């Protein structure tokens, strides 16, 4: 691969390249998360603040990754940092109960509509693993329904059959008979859902409530309502995986915004204010399967779900998480991030039109996405357009677009990004300027 865009990217990032060369000897493909893998090498970040981050070569970027979606308040929000610093001065791990986990749990119960009890984990993956186990234990059924391409972390049962063209799991190393208890359905199709629930043998339906990959294939509210209706009718549990949408789309997540209450919901990311942490929350009678009962050996040994985890509700995450949820509780940060995203999308669509580019931008709440390539659908109010089918970014254009945007100071997350309440007019202006220049570069290099 050649061209000015790529050679500029290489010229602008000599220190990142040097670190990538070291990393290549240490990590498979040189990275510690699949999504950070990038050709010919990723940028290495030195520090971040608000809506921006800067790399080891002194380049600054408008950041749309936002800690994989965990930073609704932006990088290093002063009150969150202060809470974490104060907590770490008391100790990073007591191996005992502490007041900060109680404050944190009370905020979860205050904000999340389905929350009656909560259990903290260290990640979203652990949260969905626990929720599915709870569902199986509670219903005494084995089967799980998930939706095509929906991401729920990387534990065994949820990694299967994620791609249209893959009948087999997208991750090897999971026994194939594991998938006998997994049913993968087309999203937004009520008929197949009704049919799959028909034998009353499904423990739970789990879904990313705005659609696969933080809404890049949107789910409509009506489908969530259908899941609620049909799971209730068949005594199946409804698990909303709000790891991304929780505390972002509203202080209480999609379940608050759409007034659809699941039986359980899973959370991470914003929950812990940029530190590691996750939780499962929901109805007490389901959560109480985790209970340890004094003097009931049979229950403790045979009828409950065991749960450990060294870093569950560690004081630093608990303090940062509580401060974050406290700041989010009034909804102003959510509204601000949503409004900034709407403005960004409006300006991007104006630019694409002015440059006569077959492209469009759209958003749900503070998550935005791009269509780029031939026959991109026009922009739409996606939440109120049930049949909206985005085309995404043409595969051949994604990498050159990201190089070009890096060269002009923007870090995308996949086909778009996450906006925080710390992003504002300056970040929008910088992003529009970067897109303008990047489109010129893509045209000059013959990609467009």
Ligand X SMILES: Cc1ncc(COP(=O)(O)O)c(C=O)c1O
Residue 267 falls in which region: left (phi positive, over 0), alpha (psi -120 to 50) or beta:
beta
**Rounded least distance, CB 123 to ligand X, Å:** 4
Structure tokens at 219: 């789910």
Q: Which of 211, 209, 206 is nearest to 184 (CA)?
A: 206
Q: 59, 123, 249, 371: which one contacts ligand X (CB under 6 A)?
A: 123
Please tell me whether residue 128 binds ligand X under the rule CB under 6 A: yes
- Which position's Cβ is nearest ligand X? 124
- Give the binding range for ligand X (CB under 6 A) out of 73-81, 182-190, 237-245, 314-322: 237-245
Size of interface with ligand X, in residues (CB under 6 A): 14
Q: Which of 243/405 has CB closer to ligand X? A: 243
Q: 134, 203, 244, 337: which one contacts ligand X (CB under 6 A)?
A: 244
- Give the binding range for ligand X (CB under 6 A) out of 80-88, 89-97, 122-130, 433-441: 122-130
| First-last CA distance in the chain | 16
DSSP per-residue letters across 6-22: HHHHHHH-HHHHHHHHH
Considering only residues 188 through 217, tell me which ones interact with ligand X, judged by CB under 6 A. 208
**Residue 2 DSSP label:** -
- Give the binding range for ligand X (CB under 6 A) out of 16-24, 36-44, 123-131, 283-291: 123-131
Q: Which of 282, 229, 228, 224 is nearest to 249 (CA)?
A: 224
Q: What is the largest CA-CA distance in the chain?
A: 75
- Give the binding range for ligand X (CB under 6 A) out of 2-10, 240-248, 322-330, 429-437: 240-248
Q: Parallel, antiparallel, or unpaired: how do β-strands 359-364 and 367-372 relate? A: antiparallel
Q: What are phi and psi of 92, to 5 degrees?
A: -95, -15
**Residue 282 DSSP label:** E
3-state helix, strand, coil in the chain (%, to 5): 45, 15, 40
**Rounded least distance, CB 87 to ligand X, Å:** 20
Q: Which of 157, 128, 127 is nearest to 143 (CA)?
A: 157
Structure tokens at 67: 């800690």
Site string for ligand X, 7-26 (x = CB under 6 A): --------------------
Q: 268, 318, 367, 401: which one contacts ligand X (CB under 6 A)?
A: 268
- Give the binding range for ligand X (CB under 6 A) out of 241-249, 328-336, 398-406, 432-440: 241-249
Considering only residues 26 through 85, tell me which ones interact with ligand X, judged by CB under 6 A. 68
Site string for ligand X, 131-160 (x = CB under 6 A): --------------------xxx-------
Please tell me whether residue 254 binds ligand X under the rule CB under 6 A: no
Q: Which of 51/124 has CB closer to ligand X? A: 124
Please tell me whether residue 415 binds ligand X under the rule CB under 6 A: no
Q: Could you tell me which residues are beta bridge partners of residue 55?
A: 45
**Rounded least distance, CB 273 to ligand X, Å:** 13
Q: Which of 126/383 has CB closer to ligand X? A: 126
**Which residue has tokens 């010229």?**
11
Please tell me whether residue 243 binds ligand X under the rule CB under 6 A: yes
Check: CB of residue 336 under 8 Å from CB of residue 421: yes
Check: CB of residue 310 under 8 Å from CB of residue 277: no
Please tell me whether residue 124 binds ligand X under the rule CB under 6 A: yes
Burial of 365 from C-beta contacts in 10 A (0-12 / 13-18 / 19+): buried
Distance CA 255, CA 171 (A): 30
Distance CA 51, CA 65 (A): 10
**Rounded least distance, CB 413 to ligand X, Å:** 10
Considering only residues 343 through 372, tell me which ones interact with ligand X, judged by CB under 6 A. none
Q: Which of 238/352 has CB closer to ligand X? A: 238
Give residues in contact with ligand X (CB under 6 A). Answer: 68, 123-125, 128, 151-153, 208, 241, 243-244, 268, 278
């Amino acid at each position: 691969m050649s061209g000015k865009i790529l050679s500029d990217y290489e010229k602008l990032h000599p220190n990142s390249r040097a670190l990538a060369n070291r990393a290549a000897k240490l990590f498979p493909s040189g990275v510690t998360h699949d999504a950070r893998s990038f050709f010919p090498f990723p940028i290495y970040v030195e520090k971040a603040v608000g809506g921006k981050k800067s790399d080891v070569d002194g380049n600054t970027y408008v950041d749309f990754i936002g800690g994989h979606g965990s930073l609704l308040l932006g990088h290093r929000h002063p009150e969150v940092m202060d809470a974490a610093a104060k907590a770490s001065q008391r100790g990073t791990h007591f191996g005992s109960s502490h007041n900060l986990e109680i404050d944190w749990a009370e905020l979860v119960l205050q904000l999340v509509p389905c929350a009656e009890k909560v259990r903290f984990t260290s990640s979203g993956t652990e949260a969905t693993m626990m929720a599915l186990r709870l569902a199986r234990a509670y219903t005494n059924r084995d089967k799980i329904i998930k939706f095509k391409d929906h991401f729920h972390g990387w534990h065994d049962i949820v990694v299967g059959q994620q791609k249209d063209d893959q009948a087999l799991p997208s991750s090897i190393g999971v026994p194939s008979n594991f998938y006998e208890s997994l049913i993968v359905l087309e999203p937004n199709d009520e008929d197949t859902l009704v049919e799959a629930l028909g034998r009353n043998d499904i423990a739970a339906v789990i879904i990313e409530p705005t659609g696969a990959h933080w809404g890049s294939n949107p789910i409509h509210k009506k489908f969530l309502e259908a899941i609620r209706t049909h799971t209730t009718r068949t005594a199946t549990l409804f698990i909303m995986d709000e790891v991304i949408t929780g505390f972002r789309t509203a202080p209480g997540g999609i379940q608050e915004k759409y007034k659809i209450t699941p039986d359980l919901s899973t959370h991470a990311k914003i929950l812990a204010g940029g530190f590691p942490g996750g939780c499962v929350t929901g109805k007490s009678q389901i959560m109480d399967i985790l209970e340890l009962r004094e003097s009931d050996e049979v229950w403790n040994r045979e009828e409950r779900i065991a749960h450990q985890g060294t870093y569950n509700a560690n004081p630093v995450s608990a303090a940062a998480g509580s401060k974050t949820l406290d700041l989010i509780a009034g909804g102003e940060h959510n509204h601000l991030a949503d409004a900034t995203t709407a403005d960004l999308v409006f300006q991007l669509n104006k630019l694409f039109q002015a440059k006569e580019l077959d492209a469009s931008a759209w958003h749900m709440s503070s998550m935005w996405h791009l269509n780029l390539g031939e026959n991109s659908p026009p922009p739409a109010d996606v939440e109120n357009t049930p049949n909206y089918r985005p085309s995404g970014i043409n595969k051949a254009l994604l990498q050159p677009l990201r190089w070009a945007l890096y060269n002009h100071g923007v870090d995308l997350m996949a086909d778009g990004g996450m906006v925080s309440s710390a992003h504002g007019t300056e970040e929008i202006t910088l992003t529009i300027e970067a897109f303008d220049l990047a489109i010129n570069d893509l045209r000059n290099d013959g990609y467009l």
